[in-house]
Structure 1
Amino acid sequence: MPVPTTAEPTDSPLTASGLGRRLEAITFPDTAATAAAVRGAALETGLALVRDLRLTEREFQKLVHGLGPTVDNHYRTGRSDLFRLEGRNDPGAVINGRGTLPLHTDGLLLRQQVDLIILYAADVQGPDGTGGTLVCDQLAAWRDLPEHLREILETREFQYRGRDSSHFPDGVQNAWVSVPVHRDFGRVRSLNISLPFPAEADAGWEVRVKGLDESATQSFFAELGAWLHTPEYCYTHTWRTGDLLVIDNQRTLHGRTSLADARTRVLYRGQVVVPVA
């Protein structure tokens, strides 16, 4: 199995803010070395990218377990060491569908700690340009945030409601749940938020700001979303078969652009916790 031999970055960051590094993949004898390399790079820079790997489902699961303890999964679909994101056309399936996913934090609705998200492209076919993964350097974006946006993030309460019944358990559907805007699991204090879905899209969840009317809420999220998508802070990854992304869920927000009908994209996803010494 081709794996990187070192956690040292091989080229420049993926954004101007310093997010992410790409590691070279060459032949190496064991999965443990792969896990150590991508884990170190992801925790240091927020995102590790490796291209041209060839992993079976079993090899992917072994890699996930090598990165840390898996998250206790309470969703209706998939497992923490292997969730197949297939871009389905099933009615009502949003998380595993073909539409847009806004920038968000994994584990938010269930208040679960998710430290690393592992994504591997098992099969990608068709024209480039759709079905990309967005990763935002939220720490840098939050640091530079205009004060009127920061004030809302520091003083207001965010509430969420799950809509994708194929994925979310009953406890977060059809009722608004308050979720803290910030989190700190011992490594870093960061934002614990999701942007709303576009008005015309099938929504996997809803979000509102307690105390703001609908017009003020829409204006806030439009301005916040534009800031977080600024190229200085946000990297868009165009997938090809064999790509591996390891994302630090505490340092970033991530999302998805919609898939065109002619595009096939099958990703394996894993989620792990990184114990704090």
Structure 2
Amino acid sequence: MTTVTPRPLTESGMGAALAHSPATDLVALGADVRATALEHGCVLLRGLDLDEPAFQHLVHAMGQTVDHKFGEGRADLLKLNASHDAGKVVTGRGMLPLHTDGLLVGERTDLIILYAAAFADAPGSGETFVCDQLAAWATMPDELRSPLDSAGALEYLVEERGYFPDVPEDWYPIPSVRDYGRVRSLNLALSFPDGSAPRGWQVRVPGLSAEESDRYLADLDAYLRQPRFTYQHRWSVGDLLVIDNQRTLHGRTAIGTGGTRVLYRGQITL
């Protein structure tokens, strides 16, 4: 059995915690977690003990996995293993800016399932942050909303070709808003900090100069990541974080030099 703890994870009201019994069946747990994530945007459970097959079983209990279009892993199990390979970004050690999963490959992803199989890092490192983008968008000032409305799309240049092997090799546009019939929301992947190497992608606002675009995207990022909209999770082994990819944006802080971080990731489409 699971029970919802009525404690939102952000000031804006996003998120909920679930308590569970060690004897909880994974199929029943998956159904409870899915329903809670879709209602609250993000759900957290602690103290689970999942090996890879059990994690995959839980992912499939939540629904249909996405059609996989990436260069590594599977939709029911990708290991975000903090690789020391200098060319790795998504599965590497650097930060990831706020983004929508599936954006760059045109793949609809509704739920993101993350489970900490191993974690040891300094406070602030290797942490996952989740933005209540619906609340942020509802109160977004005109100077941030207008460029998104007028452009209709942002343009992206993918640099991590090994992870995104089938996307265009040049700049290409992606609509900045999506609506699959469940919720209308922002559809974004924001910029890596200046000097980041390697970067997974670049992004720009069409119609603006490079300087204007960079300044606008930095302002948008700062607005979305305000504490009132954002939950930042410090991992412990056994934590499960399930994120509604339509209602939120998410990213991660950089992983410390000596840090260990192995998350299992699954992706569900409704």
TM-score normalised per structure 2: 0.97
Q: Which residue of 1 aligns with 2:239?
A: 243
Given the alignment, which residue of 218, 221, 229 partners 1:222?
A: 218
Amino acid corresponding to residue 21 of structure 1 in structure 2 = A
SS at match of 1:27: coil
Amino acid corresponding to residue 242 of structure 1 in structure 2 = G
Q: Which residue of 1 aligns with 2:106?
A: 111
CA apart distance, 1:200:
1.4
Q: After the TM superposition, which segments of 4 or more aligned residues of structure 1 sit over 6 Å from their partners?
A: none
CA apart distance, 1:263:
1.1
TM-score normalised per structure 1: 0.94
CA apart distance, 1:213:
0.4
The answer on 1:73 being equivalent to 2:68 is: yes
Q: Which residue of 2 aligns with 1:15?
A: 10
CA contact (8 A) 2:156 2:202 kept: yes
CA distance in 1, matches of 2:167, 2:159: 11
The answer on 1:261 being equivalent to 2:257 is: yes
CA distance in 1, matches of 2:132, 2:194: 25
CA contact (8 A) 2:114 2:242 kept: yes
CA contact (8 A) 2:37 2:43 kept: yes
CA contact (8 A) 1:92 1:165 kept: no
CA apart distance, 1:166:
2.2
CA apart distance, 1:28:
2.9
CA contact (8 A) 2:104 2:167 kept: no
**Residues 191-235 of structure 1: per-residue CA shift (max 9 Å, x gap):** 001111001112101111110101111111111111001000011
CA contact (8 A) 1:85 1:269 kept: yes
CA contact (8 A) 1:136 1:235 kept: yes
Amino acid corresponding to residue 171 of structure 2 in structure 1 = W
Equivalent pairs: percent with the same residue?
Answer: 49
The answer on 1:180 being equivalent to 2:175 is: yes
Q: Which residue of 1 aligns with 2:190?
A: 195
Given the alignment, which residue of 182, 200, 203 partners 1:204?
A: 200
**Residues 6-37 of structure 1: per-residue CA shift (max 9 Å, x gap):** 3x521410001011001112223411111011
Amino acid corresponding to residue 176 of structure 1 in structure 2 = W
Unaligned runs of 5+ residues in structure 2 are: none
The answer on 1:121 being equivalent to 2:119 is: no
CA contact (8 A) 1:17 1:137 kept: yes
Q: Which residue of 1 aligns with 2:163?
A: 167
CA distance in 1, matches of 2:82, 2:269: 26
CA distance in 1, matches of 2:104, 2:166: 12
CA distance in 2, matches of 1:36, 1:155: 40
Given the alignment, which residue of 23, 28, 36 partners 2:31?
A: 36
CA contact (8 A) 1:82 1:269 kept: yes
Unaligned runs of 5+ residues in structure 1 are: none
SS at match of 1:197: coil
| Superposition CA RMSD, Å | 1.1
**Residues 81-137 of structure 1: per-residue CA shift (max 9 Å, x gap):** 000000011021111110010000000011110000000000112433200001000
